[in-house]
Amino acid sequence: MPMSVADLESHLREAFPDALIEIEDLAGDGDHYKAKVVTAAFAGLSRVKQHQLVYAALKGKMGGELHALALETGAKPA
């Protein structure tokens, strides 16, 4: 079963409550998304570590309910 935009945003909000989050359904199928996540939690972290934190926030949904996620991450001032 595909993941809805609302479910995806809910997982990200839970992990990063202060974040600017923008989600785009790339294929209209609920399986391929682009997400922009900008949060103070990413300050000082490498892009790889930022992406790892996003994947951790999805609690194992990547590869299952969520097939593909293009990520754009960044830190915002605290």
Of all residues in the chain, what percent carry a pLDDT higher than 70?
99
pLDDT, mean of residues 32-54: 96
pLDDT tens, position by position, 4-20: 899 999 999 999 999 99
* The model's pTM: 0.90
Number of neighbouring beta carbons within 10 Å of residue 6: 9
Segments in the chain forming alpha helices (H): 5-15, 47-57
Please give the pLDDT value at position 35: 96
Residue 50: exposed, middle, or buried by beta-carbon count in 10 A (0-12, 13-18, 19+)?
buried
Please give the pLDDT value at position 78: 63
- What DSSP designation does 77 have? -
pLDDT tens, position by position, 20-32: 999 999 988 888 9
Q: What angle do CA 71, 30, 48 make, to 5 degrees?
A: 15
Distance separating the N- and C-terminal Cα atoms of the chain: 37
Domains annotated on the chain, with CATH: 5-74 (3.30.300.90)
